[in-house]
Amino acid sequence: MSELGLANFRKETDFLIGIDSDGCAFDSMEIKHKECFIPNFINYFGLQPISKYAREAAEFTNLYSKTRGANRFPAYLLALDLLEERDEVKRRNVTLPKLQGVRDWVERETKLGTKTIGPESEKTGDPDLKQAYAWSKAVDETVKEIVHGVPPFPGVREALQKMKEQADLIVCSATPNEALQNEWTEHEIDQFVKSICGQEAGSKKESLSACQQMGYEPEKMLMIGDAPGDKNAALAVGALFYPINPGHEEESWARFLDEACDRFFAGTYAGDYQKKVIAEFDKYLPEQPPWK
């Protein structure tokens, strides 16, 4: 049984591997955003008159761009910013929420989650925070209701078995802990990881950094993820990064199992090999939306 967070985590091997969950281990990004996040986004922020464009903006910031996999609060604020600029939205004379209170909170808080925005909204009485808390809570409830029976990508279980023989494994994700625990337990792959570090544990960088302080050498730390944020978190602490390419997840896991995993343990992953896989990964996600 894996622990939540790193409170009881102990270094047992020389190697540490962090694995992102949504869109990396599980094919759950599309169902979560399209069925859970976005309908609530439209409902809670009064975007019904521009629902088509709201959906496009949110899908772009969360699934199909360089900000894929980012924490929900900055990613959906960015979707609102994209809507603000869009001519079709301007022509419909819709007043978009500014959510300045949420923007200020995102600047000062590192553990961005439903469990932190709730108490903050109570403490400050800020209407923006209350609105965003209601949305975030509704998202969590919808995820609990809708997202189940979504298996890990083919190859994930085999990769976890192989990694566990030589490394300490953690889940390193921006998803709430409870959802992660449910998903990893439902498919009986929680047995392979020592800790589950979700949104309540802080950012991915913070989780990796906390592990590093337990004595892992940076070149013996690897983050596996499907988003630029995973890459940035790894590189920020000097760790290595292996990409799961969006839309090509099965091939990415097969390559990890066949060659990248062995290279990591043998010390031949860094350098040209890592550069090659990251260069390929960077081509998959654009910075600018197609309507610009």
Q: What pLDDT, on the 0 to 100 scale, is given for residue 112? A: 93
Phi and psi, residue 5, nearest 5°: 75, -170
Assess contact for 101 and 124: CB atoms under 8 A: yes
* 272/146 Cα distance (integer angstroms): 42
User: 242: which 2 tokens?
Assistant: 């292996």
Give the integer Cα–Cα distance in Å for 194 and 164. 10
Fold assignment, 3-27+152-282? Rossmann fold (3.40.50)
22 three-class SS:
strand
For position 5, what pLDDT does the model report?
Answer: 77
- CB of 115 within 8 A of CB of 4? no
Distances (CA, A) of 78 to 19, 40, 99, 200, 251: 25, 16, 11, 22, 31
Q: Rounded to an integer, what distance in angstroms lies between the CA atom of residue 192 and that of residue 170?
A: 9
Phi, psi of 222 (to 5 degrees): -135, 135
241 neighbors 223 (Cβ within 8 angstroms):
yes
Task: Determine the pLDDT at residue 274.
Answer: 98
Backbone angles phi, psi at 221, to 5 degrees: -115, 135
pLDDT at 235: 96
For range 256-274, the mean pLDDT: 98
Q: Are 246 and 285 in contact, with CB atoms under 8 Å apart?
A: yes
Confidence at residue 4, expressed as pLDDT on a 0 to 100 scale: 74
Is 80 exceeded by the pLDDT of residue 13? yes
Over residues 202-218, the mean pLDDT reads 94
Determine the Cα–Cα distance for residues 160 and 19; give it in Å rounded to an integer: 9
DSSP secondary structure string, 37-64? IHHHHHHHTT-GGGHHHHHHHHHHHHTS
**What is the tens place of the pLDDT at every residue in 148-162?**
999 999 999 999 999
pLDDT given at position 110: 86
Task: State residue 2's pLDDT score.
Answer: 65
Helix, strand, coil shares of the chain as percentages rounded to 5?
Answer: 55, 10, 35
Tell me: the pLDDT tens digits for 167-203?
Answer: 999 999 989 899 899 999 999 999 999 999 998 888 8
pTM of the full structure: 0.89
Within 10 angstroms of residue 25's Cβ, the number of other Cβ atoms is 30
Residues listed for the chain: 292
The token pair at 144 is 């609990």
Cα 205-279-199 angle, rounded to 5 deg: 20
pLDDT digits (tens, 9 = 90+) for 33-71: 999 999 999 999 999 999 999 999 999 999 999 999 889
- Mean pLDDT throughout 12-22? 97
Any idea where the domains of the chain sit in the sequence? Answer: 3-27+152-282, 29-146
Contacts with 256 (C-beta within 8 Å, 6 or more apart), sequence order: 155, 159, 224, 242
How far is Cα 62 from Cα 71, in angstroms, rounded to an integer?
Answer: 9
Q: Does residue 1 have a pLDDT over 70?
A: no
Give the chain's mean pLDDT. Answer: 95
